[in-house]
Amino acid sequence: MRREPTESVRELDWLMLIVIAMSCLGLVMAVSVLGSQSDEGPLVVMKRQGVKLLLGVVSFVVCAVTPMRLLRRVAMPLFFAAVVACLLPHVLGGESKGASRWIRFGGQQFQPVEPARFFLVLAVSWLLARAGSGLSSFRRGFVPAMGCAMLLALALATQPDNGNAMLAVALASCMALVAGVRVIHFVPFAGAGLALMMFLASQHEYVRRRIEQLFDTSPDSQVGLGLVAVGSGGIFGRGLGRGWMKMHYVPEAHNDFVFAIIAEEFGYLGSLFVLLAYSAFGYLCYRLVVQVRDPFLRYVVCGYAVMICMQAAVNLLVVSGWAPAKGIDLPFVSTGGTSLVFCLAAVGLIGNAVRSDRTGAFVTSEEAAAVS
């Protein structure tokens, strides 16, 4: 049955405009930061970052045109493959800074946590939609969805990557709560899970050091230097390319702490633009979620919106000194290629899900159950 067009078309247009603006900002900041840190020059940096952006656009288009019925069928196999990929850094990666989080081959490297988080949303969406009216039950609602998240969290804990493990559990929890899983089911496991994560985190010196820096932010610490960069920008900033904190003062200025350089070079107005952009992204996705009728498609839109907004929130909290330093990229803006590709792919699936629901191109959960 074909459904009449709704306001979702207009909201999708605004959503895409925000993503384009943030991606362009990311390209500009890559040239500004990396172009000043290396001898390669801005044109080489722009070309390299442009290739990453082009790959992201390709992933966006592929996810935007792939039939959602096909994605629903392969959701679980792709998720399990992604979990296995999170174990491969022990074999194909190599230890860096006390952790094995990268897969390296052919001179290239990528973090498997990005596709794992991406496919976690698809898997949890499929499980929640399959539960149907049984979402409120512990066995049909809570266990399958949170079981997937815990499986991924355990795989990430072996790297170790405790921050992304907690992020995966939080992402699945938000999706489950929005779907209708009862809050009481989370209570017995929340305390035990938090205690376990704190125990695992305490086993690593660098984690303890980051937590200590959160409560005692010295000017020469990573977070402290980031705050200096944020505060030195003033209202209008020093000007594009004129910031000096990116000159090997702020560590990871092109990835984790790129917001600090934005605040230094574009000032309060630039920072406000970034905050408003992510706020508008979340609001538009909320408007889209309430319009989507099919459960699976609704959970897909909700899951990817939460994934991107949660990742942005964690990054901004770290830069502003409200959370311990953690290797979480700022979506669309950081120079990490893997993160950019899968964030743009997530936006493509958001648009695909909304369009499929609006046009009736997706077989509803009830129809699929009747056929099976």
- Quote the number of domains for the chain: 2
Residue percentage of the chain with pLDDT more than 90: 45
pLDDT score, position 99: 66
- Of these ranges, 201-210, 267-276, 356-365, the one predicted with the greatest mean pLDDT is 267-276
Same domain for 275 and 181, yes or no, is no
Let me know if residue 368 belongs to a domain: yes
222 lies in the same domain as 370: yes
Residue 311 backbone class (left: φ over 0; alpha: ψ -120 to 50; beta: rest): alpha
Residues 229, 371, single domain; the answer is yes
Q: pLDDT grade, residue 215 (50/70/90)?
A: low
Asked whether residue 3 carries a pLDDT value surpassing 60, the answer given is no
Q: Do 161 and 246 reside in the same domain of the chain?
A: no
State both tokens at 115.
């596709």
In this prediction, residues 222-232 reach a mean pLDDT of: 81
Q: Which long-range contacts (CB under 8 A, 24 or more apart) does 336-340 make?
A: 336/111, 336/255, 337/52, 337/55, 337/56, 337/110, 338/110, 338/111, 338/114, 338/115, 339/111, 339/114, 340/23, 340/26, 340/52, 340/53, 340/55, 340/56
Give residue 369's pLDDT: 46
Band of pLDDT at residue 18, cut at 50, 70 and 90: very high
152 alpha carbon, distance to own chain's centre: 15
The pLDDT confidence band at residue 371, using thresholds 50, 70 and 90, is very low
Question: Confidence band (pLDDT; 50, 70, 90) for 8?
Answer: low
| Residue 96 forms part of a structural domain | yes
Out of 177, 203, 229, pick the residue that ends a domain.
203
- Domain identity same for 222 and 337: yes
Write out the chain in H/E/C secondary structure: CCCCCCCHHHHHHHHHHHHHHHHHHHHHHHHHHHHHHCCCCHHHHHHHHHHHHHHHHHHHHHHHHCCHHHHHHHHHHHHHHHHHHCCCHHHHHCCECCECCCEEECCEEECCHHHHHHHHHHHHHHHHHHHHHHHHCHHHHHHHHHHHHHHHHHHHHCCCCHHHHHHHHHHHHHHHHHHCCCHHHCHHHHHHHHHHHHHHHHCCHHHHHHHHHHHCCCCCCHHHHHHHHHHHCCCCCCCCCCCCCCCCCCCCCCCCCHHHHHHHHHHHHHHHHHHHHHHHHHHHHHHHHHHCCCHHHHHHHHHHHHHHHHHHHHHHHHHCCCCCCCCCCCCCCCCCHHHHHHHHHHHHHHHHHHHHHHHCCCCCHHHHHHHC
Burial class (CB in 10 A: 0-12, 13-18, 19+), 258: buried
pLDDT tens-digit map of 55-100: 999 999 999 999 999 999 999 999 999 999 888 887 776 666 666 7
pLDDT tens digit sequence for 146-159: 999 999 999 988 88
- Domain boundary residue among 203, 225, 258? 203
Per-residue confidence (pLDDT) for residue 211, from 0 to 100: 63
**Residue 214, pLDDT above cutoff 70:** no
Domain co-membership, 288 together with 310: yes
Same domain, 224 and 146: no
pLDDT in the model for residue 166: 87
pLDDT value for 247: 80
Task: Give the separation between CA 35 and CA 41, rounded to whole angstroms.
Answer: 5
Whether 308 shows a pLDDT value over 80: the answer reads yes
pLDDT higher at 73 or 201: 73
Lowest mean pLDDT among 218-227, 237-246, 321-330: 218-227
Distance CA 29, CA 118 (A): 25
Q: Are residues 48 and 157 in the same domain?
A: no
The pLDDT of residue 363 is above 60? no
For the record, the structure tokens of 252 come out as 């990871």
State the pLDDT confidence band at 209, using cuts at 50, 70 and 90: low
pLDDT at 20: 95
pLDDT for 132-141, tens place per residue? 888 888 888 8
Q: Residue 240's closest CA among 37, 30, 22?
A: 30
Please report the pLDDT score of residue 98 as a whole number: 60
- 3 or 162: which carries more pLDDT confidence? 162
Q: How far is CA 354 from the centre of its chain?
A: 20
Look at residue 310 and tell me whether its pLDDT is greater than 90.
Answer: yes
Domain shared by 116 and 154, yes or no: yes
Q: Distance between CA 175 and CA 325 in Å, rounded?
A: 25
pLDDT band at 370 (very low <50, low <70, confident <90, very high): very low
- Count of beta carbons in the 10 Å neighbourhood of residue 194: 12
Mean pLDDT of all residues in 261-288:
94
Q: Are 227 and 289 in the same domain?
A: yes
Same domain for 184 and 99: yes
Taking the whole predicted model, whether its pTM rises above 0.85 is answered as yes
Domain end, chosen from 203, 228, 258, is at 203
- pLDDT at position 192: 76
On average, the pLDDT of the chain sits at 84
Same domain, yes or no, for 199 and 226? no
Residue 54 in this model has a pLDDT that exceeds 60? yes
For residue 159, what are the domain limits? 68-203
For 104, list phi and psi in degrees, rounded to 5: -115, 130
The yes-or-no verdict on residue 254 having pLDDT over 90 is no
Over residues 187-215, the mean pLDDT reads 68
Torsion of CA 336, 250, 317, 196, to 10 degrees: 80
